[in-house]
Amino acid sequence: MASSLQDLLRNRVESAGVPLKLTVDDESVYAASALPAFYERRAYHPAWTSEKGLLPEARSLLNAIQRAEEQGLRPADYHLDKVENLLPETRRDFSSGCIRIEKPLELAEYLLKDHPDWPSQKIRAALTGDERVEKTIKLGEPVSIHILYWTVWIGKDDLIHFGPDIYDRDKTLDEALQEPPPGFVEVTPDNEDTLVSPHFKLKQFLCNQNGGYPKYLVLKEKLLLKLELILEKVNAKGYRCNTFHVMSGYRTPYYNEAIGNVKHSRHIYGGAADIFIDENPQDNMMDDLNRDGNIDYRDAAVIYRIIDELYGKEFYDPFLGGLARYKKTGNHGPFVHVDVRGRRARWGD
Ligand SMILES: [Ca+2]
Ligand SMILES: [Ca+2]
């Protein structure tokens, strides 16, 4: 009787777990994600907390959900994570010495699989029976436990989800990712014509900032490899050129800020180049690649498309990065931005 009731309940819960489809402003939304956003926008406070913290009724409800596993039910079916995230006082951290386990029975069975004196039934009885007692069992072999901490993840809905960074780990990680380069190349009139790859010279990547020699720059080898690769493909498509005009390669943080660019631009790390083809005529301006009599974004699009076709090919994986197409303005002609940030990114005109 008890088990058939459990099955019945479980079926009800699982069928109720399908998110209700809503339509807002002609756009389909799922209630499960729309409602929390609705509450958040209006800064609604959960009614089950007071200034003193969680109300006793809510505490006992949460306790019941957290222990639903003992009844053969899944806490996730009751949106335990979402509820806990709404309530700061229920968030766990290491200082409290408490980590909630999603499948305690399965974990206990797995850990005790080599202990014949602890068969599955005995474990379940010890955890869920009437005579529950806390026991310590020493494992024959130590087991490594990895505790992973996620503040961003891809959900089953294929959307990116952000969680609260309750241990303040993201800041350290972000800073580590933005570490300054280990050193600079000193550029003088004597060495600026040095080839840094078969078709590119040191001076092509110098910052456009005013000032005399010596100048300094940072250059990622991977960027040079990527530019050589693109150059080869562009030539193969019939756009003959010996090199690219690098309109902007390395930028000092000072210069980057002066032109109003984002703080952590890839240019500061020597991993980005704004390029165009300037062979015919060589006039510091993009050539009329599509031969329509105009120099405009359509000519940048020619280069953009050739680069775009490389994405998805296995050999191109190490060179994944940003790709953007820019229109001409009063200050510059049309150009294409490429970088080697390690993942695909797109923006621009
Ligand atoms: Ca030209
Ligand atoms: Ca054109």
Asked whether the beta carbons of 345 and 323 are under 8 A apart, the reply is: yes
Which residue ranges form the domains of the chain, and what is each CATH number?
A: 103-145 (no CATH), 185-348 (3.30.1380.10)
Distance 348 CA to ligand 2 centre (A): 18
CA of 230 to the centre of ligand 2 (A): 20
Distance 289 CA to ligand 1 centre (A): 9
Q: What is the pLDDT of residue 50?
A: 66
Measured in Å, residue 349 CA sits from the centre of ligand 2 at 16
How remote is the CA of residue 283 from the centroid of ligand 2, in Å?
Answer: 15
Nearest ligand (C-alpha, residue 302): 2
Do 341 and 266 meet the contact criterion of CB atoms below 8 Å apart?
yes
109 CA to centre of own chain: 35
Backbone torsions φ then ψ of 63, nearest 5 degrees: -60, -40
Between the CA of 291 and the centroid of ligand 2 the distance, in Å, is 5
pLDDT at 1: 47
Ligand nearest to the CA of 328: 2
Ligand nearest to the CA of 298: 2
Which one of the ligands is nearest to 333 CA? 1
First-residue to last-residue Cα distance in the chain: 66
DSSP string computed for 14-38:
HHHTSPPEEEETTEEEEHHHHHHHH
Q: If you measure from the C-alpha of residue 285 to the centroid of ligand 2, how many angstroms do you get, rounded to a whole number?
A: 12
As a whole number of angstroms, the distance between CA 153 and CA 161 comes to 5
Q: Which ligand is nearest to the CA of 285?
A: 1
Identify which ligand lies nearest to the alpha carbon of 290.
2
Q: How far is residue 245's CA from residue 333's CA, in Å, rounded to a whole number?
A: 12
The tokens for 337 are 């931005």
According to the model, what pLDDT value does residue 94 have? 41
Walking along the chain (349 residues) 10 residues at a time, the average pLDDT comes out as 65 60 60 64 65 72 81 81 64 55 84 88 80 79 84 80 79 72 89 95 95 94 94 96 97 93 90 97 96 96 97 90 95 96 88
pTM value surpassing 0.75: no
Ligand 1 center–CA 295 separation, angstroms: 9
* CA 1–ligand 2 middle distance (angstroms): 79
Contacts of 208 by beta carbon, 8 Å cutoff, 6+ apart = 248, 251, 255
Q: What is the pLDDT of residue 227?
A: 97
Amino acid at 253: P
Contact in structure between 329 and 300 (CB atoms under 8 Å): no
Nearest ligand to the CA atom of 289: 2
Are 101 and 107 in contact by the 8 Å Cβ rule? The answer is yes
